Structure 1
Amino acid sequence: MSRSWMAKDRLSKEYEDGVESFIEIAMKNTVDPKRVHCPCQKCSNLKKLDIKEIKNHLYFNGIDKTYVKWIWHGEQVESTPKVHNENKEFAQVFDDPIEMVRDADDRFVDRPEEFVKFLGDAEKPIFPGSPMSKLVVLVKLYNLKAGSGWSDISFTKLLDLMKEILPKDNEMPSSLYEAKKTLCTLGMDYKKIHACPNDCVLYRNNLENATECPTCKTSRWKRGKEGKEGKKGIPAKVLWYLPPIPRFIRLFRNPEHAKSLRWNEDGRIKDDKLRHPADSLAWKIIDEKWPVIKKDPRNLRLGLSADGINPFSNMSSSYSC
């Protein structure tokens, strides 16, 4: 069937018909409708969800436009076409992520040693002699993609080009699938939370199913053409939330970082002088109030930075906290 609907507006009839056709194909080729690879832009076939939830994701997040061969939903992988000798190695690298992503779901749950090996691979220099690791380069590139609104197709083409430009034996991923797989496995995943267009509330917890803001009564959903109410499912505003727990886990996996994270307990000079936040009254109050936290030297304290926010909602003011 045609894939042209994947590039259509999510409010259009073509996109709606395309989603229905895709769901029909997915249902025909799945054994368990509660464990199906989700092809939305957020999940990129890395997560398995209920078929009904996948349908919502396709409206909320849109389908991953680089997923043109539906290999996780019944279609067969085509053999790699013949290429010139200088491109054979590149073609093989490009094919590897398909097999890697196929079993990415829950891959490291029961094999932590494999995670360590995978982590070591991600921390290799992006090319021999480079001061930047594969992980650092991927994070910077993905930040540029998210901040600049690059499409998945343009990002994949950029990775392809950099793969060819960089010196031989470089570690640059050659596809968006591989880049996302690396970031998600290393705990760099994110969550999207719908928000009021006027920043009144986040649609979570008891407001998860609300359709309008309880404060300003503004619709949760994006408006269509000519200001008409848009189709339910496309949020007017989205907050990108970076869960901290996966990052803490990853920090403690590194021996040097783990040592630094315990410094407030193991290396700090304790002489009643204010040398570290742990010497402050606020820190000591928490220790007294929750002694269980104090007993574990691995406990972490988070600080909230208010730099730059304006508490009086006057955006024209030069005042800054």
Structure 2
Amino acid sequence: MDKSWIFKDRDTLDYEIGVEEFLIFAEENASDPKRILCPCKRCANFKKFAVKIIRGHLYENGFSLGYLDWIWHTQGSASRSSVNRNVPTPASMPAPAPTSARAPIPSPGLASETVNVCDAAYNSSEYNNESYQFRRFVADAEQPLYEGSECTKLKSILKLHNWKARFRLRDSAFNDLLSTVGSLLPKDNVMPPNAYEAKKTLSDLGLEYIKYHSCPNNCILYRGVNVDASECPKCRLSRWKLGKDGKIRINVPAKVMWYFPIIPRFKRMFKSPSTSELMTWHSKQRIEDGKMRHPADSPS
């Protein structure tokens, strides 16, 4: 089905015909034709309405430019039914905001690798903060860096952040790098303009962390009974950093440990039926016939 009408003016005949074709397609494939997810720019497949209301929204707000593969309006497709046939139909992830008049069109090589995870993770009736952030992450994960690019926005940000961490680059220098790289890319690129925007994208991954002050000799963490201590009770080293002038800089920790909680990561893994099946393989699907088939078969 030709979807080029999505990018045309809303007062053209092509757009009108395209809207009617979409509504027929959505109504034929909907489990409940009276309540269909609205793909307009404002609703972004988060809300359900009758066909008449959706038609009005599409003319008033326009069609979501990033929603080219109508996965949330197709029942029983191969990609969705292969994950879990009993999973309820989810709301769609919001379309990424375009940086120009026309958003980048995903190339055929950028097949949806995270749709199944999103499909299995969220119910259309649950619109909490966590699900919204995760769907935004999915949108960024699948959005091309620019039209025709084989690299996604998320993949580009992760590579640059890895490079920043390896060479201990300051945020000010990272800002200049992002600005320079963005200026060398086509005008429709979605490269974040600064480090702050790049971190916001990565925060949707759910990779939250906790910072703990640590003893320079790794004796203790300043938490629990030692949360207010100013020196290590074992080696007696100061908790605070020593300045170049030899004076102790109060409230500036000498060493910091970054702790990544495991529970949010388990939640992410178990949101997908396919991933959770792999996580529970050792206890549910492993063959137990007294033979050594896997390291998990050993008592040690």
Deviation of 1:255 after TM superposition, in Å, equals 4.3
For 2:283 and 2:198, the matched residues in 1 are separated by 37
Structure 2 match to 1:261: 279
Alignment of 1:23-34 (within 5 A): none
Structure 2 match to 1:160: 179
Amino acid of the structure 2 residue aligned with 1:229: I
Instruction: Give yes or no for contact 1:163–1:174 (8 Å, CA) kept in 2.
Output: yes
Deviation of 1:236 after TM superposition, in Å, equals 0.9
Structure 2 match to 1:80: none
Instruction: Give yes or no for contact 2:211–2:259 (8 Å, CA) kept in 1.
Output: yes
Structure 2 match to 1:211: 230
Is 1:181 the counterpart of 2:181 in the alignment? no
Structure 1 match to 2:255: 237
Relative to structure 1, the CA distance from residue 265 to residue 165 in structure 2 (aligned partners, 3 Å threshold; closer, same or farther) is farther
Deviation of 1:212 after TM superposition, in Å, equals 0.4
Deviation of 1:224 after TM superposition, in Å, equals 1.9
For 1:248 and 1:169, the matched residues in 2 are separated by 36
Is 1:252 the counterpart of 2:270 in the alignment? yes
Relative to structure 1, the CA distance from residue 246 to residue 147 in structure 2 (aligned partners, 3 Å threshold; closer, same or farther) is farther
For 1:256 and 1:173, the matched residues in 2 are separated by 32
Amino acid of the structure 2 residue aligned with 1:143: N
Alignment of 1:45-194 (within 5 A): 89=99, 110-124=128-142, 125-127=144-146, 132-167=151-186, 169-194=188-213
Structure 2 match to 1:225: 244
Relative to structure 1, the CA distance from residue 154 to residue 202 in structure 2 (aligned partners, 3 Å threshold; closer, same or farther) is same
Is 1:271 the counterpart of 2:289 in the alignment? yes
Structure 2: gaps (5+ residues): 1-97, 104-125
Amino acid of the structure 1 residue aligned with 2:271: R
Relative to structure 1, the CA distance from residue 276 to residue 136 in structure 2 (aligned partners, 3 Å threshold; closer, same or farther) is farther
Q: Which TM-score applies when normalising by structure 1?
A: 0.48
For 2:244 and 2:198, the matched residues in 1 are separated by 35
For 1:280 and 1:111, the matched residues in 2 are separated by 43
For 2:289 and 2:219, the matched residues in 1 are separated by 46
Deviation of 1:152 after TM superposition, in Å, equals 1.3
Structure 1: gaps (5+ residues): 1-87, 94-107, 283-321
For 1:168 and 1:251, the matched residues in 2 are separated by 36
Instruction: Give yes or no for contact 2:219–2:235 (8 Å, CA) kept in 1.
Output: yes
Higher helix proportion (structure 1 or 2) = 1
Deviation of 1:211 after TM superposition, in Å, equals 0.4
Q: Which TM-score applies when normalising by structure 2?
A: 0.51
Deviation of 1:130 after TM superposition, in Å, equals 5.0
Instruction: Give yes or no for contact 1:183–1:189 (8 Å, CA) kept in 2.
Output: no
Instruction: Give yes or no for contact 2:240–2:252 (8 Å, CA) kept in 1.
Output: yes
Structure 2 match to 1:40: none
Relative to structure 1, the CA distance from residue 268 to residue 136 in structure 2 (aligned partners, 3 Å threshold; closer, same or farther) is farther
Instruction: Give yes or no for contact 1:145–1:155 (8 Å, CA) kept in 2.
Output: yes
**CA RMSD across the alignment:** 3.2
Q: Could you tell me the percent identity over the aligned residues? A: 44
Instruction: Give yes or no for contact 2:99–2:190 (8 Å, CA) kept in 1.
Output: no
Relative to structure 1, the CA distance from residue 249 to residue 126 in structure 2 (aligned partners, 3 Å threshold; closer, same or farther) is farther
For 2:209 and 2:223, the matched residues in 1 are separated by 15
Instruction: Give yes or no for contact 2:145–2:153 (8 Å, CA) kept in 1.
Output: yes
Higher RCO, Cα 8 Å, sep 6+: 2
Deviation of 1:217 after TM superposition, in Å, equals 0.5
Instruction: Give yes or no for contact 1:156–1:175 (8 Å, CA) kept in 2.
Output: yes
For 1:132 and 1:260, the matched residues in 2 are separated by 28
Deviation of 1:237 after TM superposition, in Å, equals 1.2
Moved more, 141-150 or 123-132: 123-132
Amino acid of the structure 2 residue aligned with 1:208: V
Deviation of 1:134 after TM superposition, in Å, equals 3.1
Instruction: Give yes or no for contact 1:196–1:220 (8 Å, CA) kept in 2.
Output: yes
Name the SS for the 1:181 alignment partner. Answer: helix
Structure 2 match to 1:317: none
